[in-house]
């Protein structure tokens, strides 16, 4: 019996055959990173342009006081509409509520049509 060096013995040992009928399993991983950037530019309390996720485009976002003036109603009604989710809104970490002007316009239009007023 002849002794072979350890590595040579491993090379001479029979290797298990790969199963030809079993396909190799390939794994694909998909990583999605979403980021949201908010930029409020108006310091005067007026409207600012922002992306409304519900409208899927950039709209003017109004503070409740200006939204109430634009809709011809009170700020309490604006807050009620927000609670009822009848208008789109955004509340940044600063806590200042902003109302989507497009959803406000659509709500005002539907209210006018339902009450029979002319546009």
User: Which residue from 75, 79, 67 is spatially nearest to 108, judged by alpha carbons?
Assistant: 67
Dist. CA 88–CA 101, nearest whole Å: 8
pLDDT at 35 over 60: no
More confident residue, 36 or 33: 33
Measure CA 57 to chain center.
12
pTM: 0.55
Q: Per residue in 39-59, pLDDT tens?
A: 444 445 567 888 898 888 899
**Percentage with pLDDT > 90 across the chain:** 29
Q: How confident is the model at residue 94 (pLDDT cuts 50, 70, 90)?
A: confident
- The average pLDDT across 93-98 equals 87
pLDDT at 76 over 90: yes
Q: Per residue in 102-117, pLDDT tens?
A: 999 888 877 765 655 4
């Amino acid at each position: 019996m002849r002794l072979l060096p350890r590595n040579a013995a491993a090379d001479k040992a029979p290797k298990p055959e790969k199963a030809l009928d079993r396909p190799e399993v390939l794994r694909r991983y998909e990583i999605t990173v979403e980021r949201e950037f908010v930029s409020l530019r108006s310091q005067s309390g007026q409207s600012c342009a922002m992306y409304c996720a519900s409208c899927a485009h950039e709209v003017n976002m109004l503070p409740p006081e200006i939204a109430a003036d634009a809709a011809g109603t009170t700020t309490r009604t604006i807050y009620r509409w927000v609670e009822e989710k009848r208008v789109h809104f955004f509340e940044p970490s600063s806590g200042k509520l902003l109302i989507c002007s497009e959803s406000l316009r659509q709500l005002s239009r539907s209210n006018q049509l339902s009450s029979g007023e002319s546009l």
